[in-house]
Amino acid sequence: MILKYNLKRTEIIAQLPYSEPFLFVDEVLAVSGENISGTYTFQKNAFFYKGHFKNNPVTPGVILTECMAQLGLVCLGIYLLGKEKSSSNPTFALSSTEIDFYLPVFPGEKVTVFSEKKYFRFNKLKCEVKMLNANNEIVASGIISGMTGPLNPKGETVDGN
């Protein structure tokens, strides 16, 4: 069945719907129908460090969550849709997150995201996602869910709007 999963790791990144300054994926390390891992290095001059916090740059939790969602949910979703037939211009919408944060991530740090599919049914992808720093310490972990589209061959989005 491996042949059905024919998207390469670089092709996944090329299909991501994000660009600078809101792309938080550098590399997909490994991907399968069940899980994915990948890395991102937070650029020292990223826009959010200017204000988070005043004179004390720390990566915001929402950005860590975004990185976990882009790698753990959207990259995996692109891969899973890629094994199905019509996957041109897949769309994604975050539907819920529940993340615990354990350690700060400072400018220039490289993180690795691991995501395990809990289920992918009726276009909803739910994953257990964790983020580790360069010392293999857990930075954040939790559950992220999102909806993928298009839902049907007519190309309508999931909510019809």
Partner 1 sequence: MTSEEIFALLEPIIKTYLPQDVSAKEINRESDLTRELNINSAHLVDIILDIEDVFNIEFKNDDMEKLRNVNDAISLIEQKIAV
Comparing CB distances to partner 1, the nearer of 70 and 145 is 145
Contacting residues toward partner 1, per CB under 8 A: 95-96, 119, 121-124, 145-147, 152, 158-159
Instruction: Indicate if 1 belongs to the active site.
Output: no
Torsion of CA 28, 26, 58, 112, to 10 degrees: 20
State the minimum distance, in angstroms, from the CB of residue 147 to partner 1.
5
Report the alpha-carbon distance of residue 158 to residue 71 in Å, rounded.
Answer: 21
Q: Which of 9, 26, 39, 52 is catalytic?
A: 52
In the bound state with partner 1, the residue whose beta carbon lies nearer, of 25 and 147, is 147
The distance of closest approach from Cβ of residue 121 to partner 1 in the complex, given in angstroms and rounded to an integer, is: 6
Distances (CA, A) of 76 to 28, 34, 38, 45, 50: 10, 9, 10, 28, 31
Report d(CA 142, CA 153) in Å as an integer. Answer: 33
**Nearest distance in Å: CB 77, partner 1:** 13
Active site residues: 52
